[in-house]
Amino acid sequence: MAKLKSDDDVIVIAGKDKGKRGTVRRLLDSDRVIVGGVNMVKKHTKPNPQAGVAGGIVEQEAPIRASNLAIFNSKSGKGERVGYRVEDGKKVRVFRPSGDLVDA
């Protein structure tokens, strides 16, 4: 079970985008994540008339290290670490300081 999942609300805790919030779009591998609206880069694209691509400079999200992210807890209003607990025979994610369920 991964500590980060798609559609998790996260906050950046280190790097040039520190303090920004976004939603996890994709998990690339064990330590790289694409977060919506975070770590934006400009990519120069060639026009491709067959695919309908106009070309030019496109702004898109670049991967960010998972260690630079924390899951945002809406109750406390800040990013918190995540741990695991077994409830009713199922492994669930919980916020470490408060013990609240992540998916609740």
Strand partners, 12: 69
Q: CA 57, CA 103: separation in Å to the nearest integer? A: 38
pTM of the entire structure?
A: 0.83
Quote the CA–CA distance of 10 and 13 in Å, as a whole number: 9
| Half-sphere exposure (Cβ direction) of 62: Cα atoms closer than 13 Å | 9
Q: What is the CATH number of domain 9-46+53-95?
A: 2.30.30.30
For 17-53, the pLDDT digits (tens) are 999 999 999 999 878 999 999 999 999 999 999 999 8
Which residue, among 73, 71, 72, 94, has the nearest Cα to 83 in the 3D structure? 94
CA 27 to chain CA centroid, Å, is 8
Cα dist from 104 to 15, 90, 99, whole Å: 29, 14, 12
Question: Domains of the chain: which residue ranges?
Answer: 9-46+53-95
pLDDT surpassing 70 at residue 6: yes
Query: What is the pLDDT confidence band of residue 99, given thresholds at 50, 70 and 90?
Result: confident
Model confidence at 104, pLDDT cuts 50, 70, 90, reads: low
